[in-house]
Structure 1
Amino acid sequence: MFNHRRVRTAVVLVISWVVMTGVERVVEHNPWGSALLRGLVWAGVVTGVWWFSEWTQVQRPQPRPEESVTSDERSPH
């Protein structure tokens, strides 16, 4: 399930939204409506940073090196 980047990104968005809403509600003493909206904004920032860091660290397939000696050029020994 977590092999897909979209799923991981969605999970980061939801978890960070819950955490950031809690921070806005408890620490900043905002009402629920404001805390949900501000938590969503911060969750978007966190998710964007997460996505960018994953995107820049993706292992792209490397081109396979060509064989330096073909089968016709090999010695018969």
Structure 2
Amino acid sequence: MTYGIDFRKCVIAYVQSGHTKKETCDLFGIGTDTLHRWEKQLDELALVKRHYFLPLPLIPLNLIQLNDSWLA
């Protein structure tokens, strides 16, 4: 079964608000494997966002200069 993104957000928010995973799964009628998979996907998405969207001021200046000189 495919669940919509709004439903998934609601379930994850419920867990993050302090409810147990068992309680959450029972309330929303989903399996524990499904919840675990959604949490894993959320963690992976956060990791990708942190990795690829590092704000420019947080990149060391000498690394930027090294790359510029290497390209010249």
TM-score by length of 2: 0.43
Q: Relative to total residues, which structure has the larger helix share, 1 or 2? A: 2
More contact order relative to length (CA 8 Å, sep ≥ 6)? 1
> TM-score, normalising length from structure 1?
0.41
